[in-house]
Amino acid sequence: MNRFYRVVFLLAGALQLAAPLCAQPSDPRALTHREDPKMQAFVDELMGRMTLEEKIGQLNLLAVGFDVTGPVVSKDVDANIRRGNVGGVFNTYTPAAARQLQEQALKATRLKIPLLLGFDVVHGHRTMFPMPLGLAATWDMQAVEQSARIAAEEASADGLHWVFSPMVDIARDPRWGRVVEGAGEDPYLGSCVAAAMVRGYQGPDNDLAQPNTVMACVKHFALYGAAEAGRDYNTVDMSRQRMYNEYLPPYKAAIEAGAGSVMSSFNDINGIPATANRWLLTDLLRRQWSFRGFVATDYNAVNELTAHGLGDEQRAATLALRAGVDMDMVGEAFLKYLADNLKKGLVSPAEIDQACRRMLEAKYRLGLFRDPYRGISDKRAHQTMGRPEFVAASRDIARRSLVLLKNERQTLPLRKAGTIALIGPLARSQRDMLGSWKAAGDWQQAVSLEQGLRNVAGSAVKLMYAQGANLTADRRLFDQLNAGGELTFDVRPAEELIREAVQVASQADVIVAAVGESAGMTGEATSRADIGLPGRQLALLKALKATGKPLVLVLMNGRPLTLTWEDENADAILETWFAGSQGGNAIADVLFGAYNPAGKITMTFPRVLGQVPIYYSHKNTGRPALGDQNDKYKSSYLDVPNAPLYPFGFGLSYTTFTYGKPTLSKATIGPAETLTVTVTVQNTGNADGEEVAQLYLRDLVGSISRPVKELKGFQKVLLKRGERKTLTFRLSVDDLKFYNDDLQFVAEPGAFQVFVGGNSRDVQAADFTLE
C-alpha cells in the first residue's frame, strides 16, 4: 500500500474507535453543488448557439458494447454521434475505445460537445470487491468508501466519467434478486453506505474536475426494493409516511453527499411509473431536496411506459420529460418525438432547455469541456489497473465482509494440518466469486475457494475435491446462468455425484462444503420463489452429515437464504456472499484463522419462506406475538415462531464479547439537549477481535405506531483478548424525529428506550424521557 493510502486508512482506523461510523455531512463541499457563475455563463453562451435538434441530442444515451443480456449496440451510433444526436454512451471502456468515441463528437459535430461515458461500476471496476450486500456487512464506512475510491481510480483511467452506482434501495424481501446490489433492510445503515459510496466515487472534495473521479448515479429512484412479491420490475404501493420514514432516507443521504445524477426506477409508485412521476422527480427530488444534478432513466424505461398502460411512445416521451427526466437511456423516444411534441404544444421550449442545461452542467463539472479525454492514456490505465495496493484492499475488505453464522465446538478456525474434503459446485468457481455486475473484472484472474485454500494452507494440508452436485438440476437454466462461465454441468445422475462426494469426504478430517447460488442467480431479473439452496445441494449436505465428519458450510449467495436444516446440522457456517477478485484468499484467511471474522448481516435471514417479508424494525400490533403465550389470539404463526433464524446485525467471532448495561447521562432531556449513552464492551474470549456495537432506539408513545427498534448508531471497535472499552454514543433530538401523519419531521415528547448490543436481538436496555 502506498504512503498516501497507508496514512489515510491508518488515521481512519484510529478514528473509528472513538466515533460512530456514520455522520451527516457538515462540510458545504459535501452538499449538492451550488451555483457556479462561470459554469452558468459558459452554459448560457453554448446553449445560445445550439439548435433544437442539438439540444435534444444531449438527452439521448446510447449503448455500445455489452450488458448483462449480451451484446448491445444501439443502431446508427456513429452516424447519430456525428449528427450531434448523442449526449452520452455507456458500456464502452478502455482508453482507445473512449478516445475513438470522443473524437467522433469533437471532430464531426458542429459545436464539438464532448460525450458523457458511463458504465455499471457497482462493486469495483477491474479490481472487484464484495457485492454491496457484503460491503455493507463490514459495517465499516472507511472500507466502503475505499472500495468506491479505488473503483473510481480504475474506471476513470479506463475512459469512464459516470458510474451507475450506488444502488441504495431498501430491500426487505429476499426473493428479489437485486437485494445483492444494496445495503440491506435498514434506512440508517443504508444512508451511511450511500454517502460513503458517493464520497468514494466523487472524491473527498466532491471535485469532479479531478481526472481520477467519476460521477455517481444514485439508483433506483425510488422504492424499487419494495416491489410486490419480490418480483423484479413489479409494482409498489406505499403510504407517503412509510416512504419518508423507511425507504427514502438513503436516497436523500446520497443527494446530500453530493451525488451528481440519479436514475429513475422501473416500478410504478401508487399507480404512476417512476419515469413519469412528477411528484417523485420534481416535487420531492428537486423542490424538497434541492437536487441540482440530472436524472437519467433506467434501460428503455421511457418506452416501457407504454406497457405500463400510459399510452404510445410519443406520449411517453412527453410524460417523462415533464416529470423531470433529463436523459433517455437507449429507447431514443426523446430523439424521435420531442421536436414534434414541441410543435404540437405538448412540451415547452423551457422544459427541453432545462434538461439540456442539466446535461451540459454535468459535463462542465466533470471538466470535459476543458479536457474531453480527462487525461486518459494506455500508460495511465496500465499503471492504475490492479495496483498491488488495490488487490491488497480487495482481499482485506473481502475478509471484513464475511459473516460467521455458526461455530459449534470451535470447529473454526481450521488447523493447517490433515486432510480437508472440499465439496460443492462452487468450490472451484472463479466467475461466481465476482458476483453479478462484474463490470470490467476478469473472472479468470479471480481467486477461487480451492485456490485460496491452497494459497493459505500450503502443503501442510491435503486437499481433496468432489463437485457433489450441480447448482441446479435444470440443464437449460444452468446453461443460461453460466453463459460464458467455466463451470460445467455434470450429466451423471445426482445420486452418483453424491456418492462420489461421500467417498471423498470419508477420507478427510473435516468437510468444507461450498454451496449456495451462482452469480447468475442474483442481480437483475433473478427473483426466486424458493430461497433455499437450489438443486440437490441440500441432499448433498445431508449425505455429508451422515459421514460423521465435521461439516463446515461456506455459503456463496446474494440474498438471505432459508437455512433451518443447515443451521441445525452443520458444525460451522460462514457467509461469504460473492467476495470479489480476492475472494478465495479472503475466505481461506478466515477459515484458517489468519483473520477473525467480524462481519454482521444487514438483512434478516428467515427460518422459512412464509415469514417473508421479515425485518427487525417492524411495528407492534394490538396483539403482539410476545404477549401472553397462552393466548391464541395474537399476531403469530401456528407452525413456526415469528423470530428469524439470524437477526439483523448478527455475526459471530472466534472470540466472545459481553456488554454491560448502558448508562445514560440523564433520565430526562429537553429539546435542545444531547443524551450521552455509554456502554462497556469486553472481549471475554481467547482471541483479539473486532465487534460492531449497535445502538437502537424505541419511541414508546407516539402519534403514530412506531417501530419496536430503529438503528441510530454503531461503532466498530478492536478489542484485544481480555480488553474492556467504554464506548460513547450521543443522541440529539434530531435522532428522535420521524415523519408524522402530516409528513412533519418531529420529535414528540414522551418515553423512549435505548438498546445497545451486538445485534438487533441481543441487547440491553435503558429508559429516558423527552420533555
> Catalytic residue positions?
298
- Phi, psi values for residue 769, rounded to 5°: -130, 140
Angle, nearest 10°, between helix axes 313-323 and 333-343? Answer: 90
The partner residues of 658 in beta bridges, in order of sequence, read 682
Print the SS3 string covering 350-412.
HHHHHHHHHHHHHHHHCCCCCCCCCCCCHHHHHHHCCCHHHHHHHHHHHHHHCEEEEEHHHCC
> For the range 209-212, what are the long-range contacts, defined as Cβ-Cβ under 8 Å and sequence gap of 24 or more?
209/365, 209/366, 209/367, 209/370, 210/367, 211/156, 211/367, 211/371, 211/374, 211/375, 211/376, 212/152, 212/153, 212/156, 212/157
- Phi, psi values for residue 756, rounded to 5°: -135, 135
What amino acid occupies position 697? L
Vertex 666 angle, CA 661 and 670, to 5°? 140
Of 615, 607, 767, the closest CA to residue 698 belongs to 767
Q: Which residues touch 542 (CB under 8 Å, ≥6 apart)?
A: 565, 569
Distances (CA, A) of 134 to 66, 86, 221, 482, 535: 25, 36, 22, 22, 24
101 is written with which cell numbers? 468515441
Angle, nearest 10°, between helix axes 349-365 and 37-48? Answer: 130
What's the rounded Cα separation, in Å, for the pair 511 and 161? 46
Distance between start and end Cα atoms, the chain: 51
Cell 468444507 identifies what position? 512
What's the rounded Cα separation, in Å, for the pair 724 and 738? 35
Q: Decide: residue 635, CB within 10 A, 0-12 exposed, 13-18 middle, 19+ buried.
A: middle
Q: Decide: residue 350, CB within 10 A, 0-12 exposed, 13-18 middle, 19+ buried.
A: exposed
